[in-house]
Structure 1
Amino acid sequence: MSAGLSSGQDAEGILGHRAGEAIAAIAPSLEVIGTAINGENKLLLPGFFNAHSHSSEMWQRGIIPPLPLELWLAQLYDFAPLDLEKVYLSALGTAVETLFSGGTSVVDHLILIPGKELETIATAVRAYKEIGIRAFVSPLIQDESMTAGIPSGETKQNHEAYFRSTQATLELIEEAVRQFHRPDEGMSILVAPTGIQLCSDALFQGCIELSDKYNLCRHSHLLETKAQEKLAQEKYGCSAVEHLGRIGYLGDRTSLAHCIHLTDTDIAILAETKSTVVHNPLSNLRLGSGIAPILKYRQAGVNVSFGCDGASSNDSQDLLEAIKIGSILHNITDFDYQHWITPRQSVEMASLGGAKGLNMADKLGSLTVGKKADLVMYDLTSLSLLPRTDPIGLLILGRPTNAVESVWVNGKQVVANGKVTTINVDDLRQQLYDHSQWDTKRKSQTVAQLEAYYRTVMDLL
């Protein structure tokens, strides 16, 4: 494959070509090997990372009312799909939306069907392999019940035991690694405890051991809400970041979603341990969780990438939208405009930042000879990218629609002429329609049970 790159001019030139799965050379003029790609008025970039998502939430997008995370989760789990076919379809849908918004990799913090955990993982893996996106499947695990995620305040609470033991959960993840962890084939398994709010130290320690044994990356939510900040003090007598640092969970293979309520000391710990923050600006706003101090992270040297989060806490998997909001949102948090994120910095965060967080910076994240050919080509004649100015600025600061012309993952073209080549998207659309129904009056019994208590401990009464 050879590809051309236009930086806003009408000039046409060859950017590079690949041999097999990797970029073999980059130069203004190269001998064409294989099929030549017309790059006139096209923008070629490394594929972005949707570095935090929950694919099966797709079935509840648009229906959960405005609620903070702890009550939102109660409603989510009351109506979570217990259907493997829905797991399959929503993984496909997540992948398609990611591809059409510049992503070539997705981190799926996958919600597991109780009693069908391995089947859930196998189903998502099958979907991602079929479509051809690079996937980092991160089975969402916990070993404490839902109510344990809410601070106790002045009350004393007894929580029901979780239905699966810590040891059984760790054995489940180890079996998933044996069956599905194939990074050379574009399919990785991560250890992914949901977070300090629903996980014991024993579960975190077990995940650390599995991570070290199999060279796995680690993924978790961290300090998404004020409630979690309070809970950490109740559980540990210190911040959650300090505690995770002490038990050894942080490191250069660890990515942490949200990271909103952190102190300067916490930020220094993340920088020292080379941990990655995954910024999910839309869900943070949707759930009223807060604005993560992303500019502080960048100034401290913390690696930052972008995620869409789940499709019912964001209600979309549009990665370009998350990148735009996640870039300009912080202009209001620091008066010094020299600290604001530029469009080119956003591109680097979305590509190389994502790769660093998954220990893949030597293989992915930039247009570099020897790296994997995970590439996205945008059509600069798309109406949403006109009139012609700075193509990077138009892509990041604009509202690109139908702008992705081609996508390659591991050198294989999975989108051509704006259409997915590996699955029938019209058929997917029909199946998503057929497996759902209009619903505007749904009520959650668990939210009704928890709301008064939540409002009490969060001083909302």
Structure 2
Amino acid sequence: MSESQFIIKPRWLVTMDVGPRVLEQHAILVDSGSIKAIVPKSEIPEWAVDWSVVDCSQHVVMPGLINLHAHSSMNLLKGYADDYALMPWLNEHIWPAEKRWVSNVFVHDGSLLACAEMLSGGVTTFNDMYFYPQATIEAVKQMGMRAHIGLTVLEFPTNYAATASEYIRLGTEVRDQYKSESSISFSFAPHAPYTVSDQTFTQIVTLSEQLNLGIHTHLHETQAEIAQSLEQFGIRPLQRLQALGVIGPSTVLAHGVHLEKQEQETLAMLGAHIAHCPSSNLKLASGIAPIASAQQIGVNIGLGTDGAASNNRLDLWQEMRTAALLAKVASQQAEAVPAYQALQMATINGATALGLQSQIGSIRVGKRADLVAVKLDELNSLPYFDPISHLVYVASREQVTHTWVNGELSYQRLPDGQAQFAGIETEALRSIALQWQLKLQQSAH
């Protein structure tokens, strides 16, 4: 018997795959990080009878959640500048703080905290966009997580780089260094149409084709962004990016709050993906994205948290529920984005957007064992009638008891309620957070 071989026995299995949406009293057999078999509990194969068993008899087991838009190390700026609109928030608070503090150490420590928060909430993969990507990768590796790393590009100087060319050079060097890591993938991440020039976008499109990398950028987050583009270029941002060749099946567009019907049709036609970040859009008063209509037209939509500085939680359970409710009220259709579609946004849709749908996002034989166990027998979850409905409208991240990535148990909630991470002691994380809190508080006065 090998430690890499084990059986998970849940009450319900939500596969997010074709076929039945919910399997009851089935077991998942995991071997060397991949899903070896899915069978009724009463029919465990003879060759697996000696494997260790994880009893999840009061749980739903489902695919790991995928955070399609994050700035993970901004976890250190959680609550640093609340209750401002996007541009004052950036210009007057976040960018000055970043200029003073952002470094390799800042990004590594912030990413450790973000990974811990996400793992404890069942997130196994996140799509990141920030500076010093090597520091984020090292934190991801330590915590036993999976990440799609955005190689950030801007025109203006930061602590990380001085010019767009330097951002691109540093990013491609990191990609070359880590491209053989099975849990790490990459895309170019030009920040936004209002911070990146036509020339740089054109260069990124060429490089993305040569290196087979996607593109991850912010788009149509605010009305002000669109007004600025109309004044400067005479066209809306999406039209500009489309003309530059940025929009395609490997493009992830964060937010997409202000998309007209014709623009939604353009995204569907070109196969681009939206990373919907409902909590951040609400908190920054950016607006309500037209998710119900975009989805109906055929746009693939995943869910993101954005950074903790503008959310302030890296909590995809909250995003699922909020996305479903907002879609209903915005479209005035109670049937819009039912629970199963919200779950799709948080799992297989995110995997598809990142080009990882053959590896993760659903529970299928041969896929990687990125799995989450959610306990549903606690008082606040009773009674239960439909586990899928419960996952979206009732469950919270506090009910996650196990998070596996590549078949490794990266997080477990112990019987006494304490969090246990494979990569670091909880008290070490607490110490890191409090040290940065002290530094940032002192600098603010």
TM-score normalised by structure 1 residue count: 0.85
The residue that corresponds to 2:11 in the other structure is: 6
Give the 5 Å matches for 1:196-345.
Answer: 196-338=193-335, 340-345=336-341
Say if 1:266 and 1:12 are closer, same or farther in 2 by CA, change over 3 A. Answer: closer
Which stretch of the first structure deviates more once superposed, 420-429 or 256-265? 420-429
Structure 2: tracts of 5 or more residues without a match: 1-5, 14-22, 415-419
Q: Which amino acid aligns with 2:371?
A: L
- The structure 1 residue matched to 2:28, chosen from 8, 13, 16, is 16
Contact 1:385 1:400 in 2 (8 A): no
Q: Does 1:99 align with 2:119?
A: yes
Return the alpha-carbon distance in structure 2 between the equivalents of residues 383 and 264 of structure 1. 44
Contact 1:4 1:14 in 2 (8 A): yes
The residue that corresponds to 1:44 in the other structure is: 61
Q: Which amino acid aligns with 2:337?
A: I
Question: How much has 1:360 moved relative to structure 2?
Answer: 1.0
Q: Deviations over 1:277-327 (max 9, x none)?
A: 001011101111000000011111000000110111111111211221112
TM-score normalised by structure 2 residue count: 0.88
Question: How much has 1:170 moved relative to structure 2?
Answer: 2.1
- Give SS of 1:402's match: helix
> Could you say which structure has the higher strand fraction?
2
Say if 1:440 and 1:129 are closer, same or farther in 2 by CA, change over 3 A. Answer: closer
Return the alpha-carbon distance in structure 1 between the equivalents of residues 167 and 443 of structure 2. 32
Return the alpha-carbon distance in structure 2 between the equivalents of residues 164 and 70 of structure 1. 22
Say if 1:373 and 1:163 are closer, same or farther in 2 by CA, change over 3 A. Answer: closer
Structure 1: tracts of 5 or more residues without a match: 113-119, 147-161, 445-461
The residue that corresponds to 1:427 in the other structure is: 428
Return the alpha-carbon distance in structure 1 between the equivalents of residues 157 and 297 of structure 2. 36
Q: Which amino acid aligns with 1:359?
A: G
- Give SS of 2:67's match: strand
Return the alpha-carbon distance in structure 1 between the equivalents of residues 223 and 153 of structure 2. 22
- The structure 2 residue matched to 1:55, chosen from 72, 76, 87, is 72
Return the alpha-carbon distance in structure 1 between the equivalents of residues 286 and 413 of structure 2. 39
Contact 2:58 2:375 in 1 (8 A): yes
- What is the number of equivalent residue pairs in this alignment? 417
Contact 1:384 1:401 in 2 (8 A): no
Question: How much has 1:271 moved relative to structure 2?
Answer: 0.2
Return the alpha-carbon distance in structure 2 between the equivalents of residues 238 and 396 of structure 1. 38
Q: Which amino acid aligns with 1:421?
A: A
Return the alpha-carbon distance in structure 2 between the equivalents of residues 401 and 213 of structure 1. 40
Q: Deviations over 1:90-136 (max 9, x none)?
A: 101111111122211011211x2xxxxxxx22211111000011011
- The structure 1 residue matched to 2:51, chosen from 31, 34, 38, is 34
Return the alpha-carbon distance in structure 2 between the equivalents of residues 443 and 428 of structure 1. 23
The residue that corresponds to 2:366 in the other structure is: 370
Say if 1:397 and 1:408 are closer, same or farther in 2 by CA, change over 3 A. Answer: same
Return the alpha-carbon distance in structure 2 between the equivalents of residues 432 and 395 of structure 1. 30
Q: Does 1:84 align with 2:85?
A: no
- Give SS of 2:176's match: helix
Q: Which amino acid aligns with 2:94?
A: L
The residue that corresponds to 2:20 in the other structure is: none
Contact 1:223 1:261 in 2 (8 A): yes
Contact 1:13 1:39 in 2 (8 A): no
- The structure 2 residue matched to 1:126, chosen from 129, 138, 143, is 138
Which stretch of the first structure deviates more once superposed, 70-79 or 165-174? 165-174
- Give SS of 2:285's match: coil
- The structure 1 residue matched to 2:356, chosen from 349, 355, 360, is 360
The residue that corresponds to 1:449 in the other structure is: none
Question: How much has 1:84 moved relative to structure 2?
Answer: 2.7
Please report the RMSD computed on the Cα atoms of aligned residues, expressed in angstroms.
Answer: 2.3
Say if 1:12 and 1:276 are closer, same or farther in 2 by CA, change over 3 A. Answer: closer
Return the alpha-carbon distance in structure 1 between the equivalents of residues 395 and 39 of structure 2. 31
Q: Which amino acid aligns with 1:108?
A: D
Q: Deviations over 1:335-377 (max 9, x none)?
A: 2323x11112111111001001101112211111111111111
